[in-house]
Structure 1
Amino acid sequence: MIVASFQEQYGIRLRTEAANMPWDEFVDLAAGLRPDTTLGRIVQIRTETDEEMLKHYTPEMRKIRSDWQRKAAKGKTEKETQDFITSIQEVFKRMAGVRD
């Protein structure tokens, strides 16, 4: 998803064109990925909490979300799970350019 998202947004082919990209530049570009990229869409599906939006999820979207939640919650306390979800939501907000 990261490779596809970099190609979609920046036109960068990570496997061939970014071999010498400094790590901090990669991190900055990854943090700047828009929500309309492959990775952005998956992050949105995984972290959505709006019940009205969830009503309109397709079966495939529901599966993506439930698989992720199940994996994220495995062996975690409720607080750890909520903290993790909050951190992912913050990443998505940064990707969308939303500030608190």
Structure 2
Amino acid sequence: MIVSSFLTQYGLRIRTKEFESVSWDEFKSLIAGIDPETPLGRVVAIRAETDKNVIKNFNKDQKRIYNAWRNRKAETMPPATYEQEMKALEKMFADLCR
């Protein structure tokens, strides 16, 4: 998803020799700026959704993505950390959508 999102949004092919010169800080900035309409952005938006009415109207694939993320994260981290991580994701996308 990262590869296709970078190509979609930035026109960058990340599996090239030229991309090897991108610093970690620059890469993180590019990831943070991924638009919600890219493949990665759509998945992150589904995972971060909190509106119960929106969730209730997810299609089959959206529900699969949402539930898989919730179940995986819930199994591997304490509840307080889980809530903190979800709030961070929600903030990131709220900032991107401004």
11-20 or 72-81: bigger deviation: 72-81
The offset of 1:26, in angstroms, is: 1.2
The alignment partner of 1:19 has SS state of: helix
Amino acid at match of 1:37: T
Q: Which amino acid aligns with 2:82?
A: T
Confirm or deny: 8 A CA contact 1:40 1:95 kept in the other structure: no
3-state SS, counterpart of residue 73 of structure 1: helix
Q: Match of 2:28?
A: 27
What are the Cα deviations for residues 5-47 of structure 1, in whole angstroms up to 9, with x where unaligned?
A: 1000000000014121122111111111111011110001111
Unaligned 5+ segments in structure 1 are: none
Write out per-residue CA displacement over residues 51-90 of structure 1, whole angstroms, 9 at most, x where no aligned residue: 1211220111101101001111114222121111111212
Once residues 64 and 14 of structure 1 are traced to their aligned partners in structure 2, the CA distance between those partners, rounded to angstroms, is 25
Counterpart CA distance in 2 for 1:13 and 1:26 is 13
Q: Equivalent residue for 2:41?
A: 40
Aligned residues: 97
Q: Which has the higher contact order (CA 8 A, sep 6+)?
A: 1
Mapping 1:74-93, distance limit 5 Å? 74-93=75-94
CA RMSD of aligned residues (A): 1.3
Amino acid at match of 2:10: Y
Aligned to 1:59: 60
Between the aligned partners of 2:13 and 2:49, the Cα distance in structure 1 is 29
Query: Alpha-carbon deviation of 1:91?
Result: 2.2
Gaps of 5+ in 2: none
